[in-house]
Structure formats: structure tokens, C-alpha cells
Amino acid sequence: MMDTILNMDQLAAKFSQQIVSETVKEKKGKEKEGIANDLDNMVTKTLGVLQEQGVYAVMLFLFSRTSDKANSAHVIRSKLIAMLTELKDVRAFLDAAALNPKDDKEVLKFYSDKVMDDLDTLFLVRDLYEQTLIYARFGAKAALKEE
């Protein structure tokens, strides 16, 4: 039984802020602009994959990113995984805290076994990820305006 109601919108806002702050960090000038643009691009593509292909495809997409895009993909992936640990009342996510976000086989197995096993869980994760990515996209755009 839940003691408190989890505010999903607040959770999405919290993790979207972490995605932006960990990617853009304390960068200044053109470097900050380039990183914020890269983040905006990566978040937009990730959101598109989520909306068109689903949660599992998002993880595949984020693991497939290489080179200069790899850092923002890693941060996004890590935060999306970490977000599941906040959903303590969803039994399927009890193992999420032990996941290594760099281990593609382990993460993909977790998603196929735990997240995709139940439609309600899958839709919960999809909706939560979608809201988080929308907020992160706006956050990346806002980071461009700060200077």
C-alpha cells in the first residue's frame, strides 16, 4: 500500500533538470551553445524514437550513439534508468537500482523482462519518459538562452 502519492510530473521535471545540468554543466560561450544544441538534438531524436517505436527502442537507440553524441546519450540513458528507482511501489523496478547503465545486455534484458512484461507498467514508463524528454528538450533550449 502506498503511503504517499507520487507526483509523476514532479519526477519528470526533476530528472529532466538533471539531464540538462549534467550535460551542459558549467560550460560557457560557444562550447555551452554546442553542447546544448547537441543535447536538444539528441533529446528530440530520443523522443521521436519513443513515440514511434517504444520504450525498448529508446534504450537500443541510446546505446547505439557513438562519438560526440555518446555523452548526452549516456546521461539521458542513465537518468531514464535511475528514474525507475523512484517508482518504489512498482515491484518490477526493485532491481533497477542495481543496473549498470553502461551494460547494454543487462539493461536491455531488464527492460524486456520487467518493463515490457506488463502493459500498465509499459505505459507508465512510456508516459513518464515522454514527459521527461519533453521537459529536457525545453531545458536544453533554455540553456541556450542563458548567458
Q: Is residue 19 part of a domain?
A: yes
In this prediction the pTM is 0.89
Cβ atoms of 45 and 61 closer than 8 Å: yes
Does some domain include residue 38? yes
9-40 pLDDT, tens digit each: 999 999 999 999 999 876 677 777 888 889 99
Q: What is the CATH number of the domain that holds 93?
A: 1.10.520.30
Neighbours of 101 (CB within 10 A): 18
pLDDT of 1: 43
54 φ/ψ sector (left φ>0, alpha ψ -120 to 50, else beta): left
pLDDT reading at 2 higher than 60: no
In a domain, 103, yes or no: yes
Q: Where are the alpha helices (DSSP H) in the chain?
A: 8-24, 29-53, 55-64, 70-85, 104-110, 119-145
CA triple 43-134-53, angle to 5 deg = 65
Better-scored residue on pLDDT, 131 or 93:
131
With pLDDT > 70 as the criterion, what percentage of the chain qualifies?
A: 90
Residue 4 lies in a domain: no
Domain that includes residue 82, residue range: 9-145
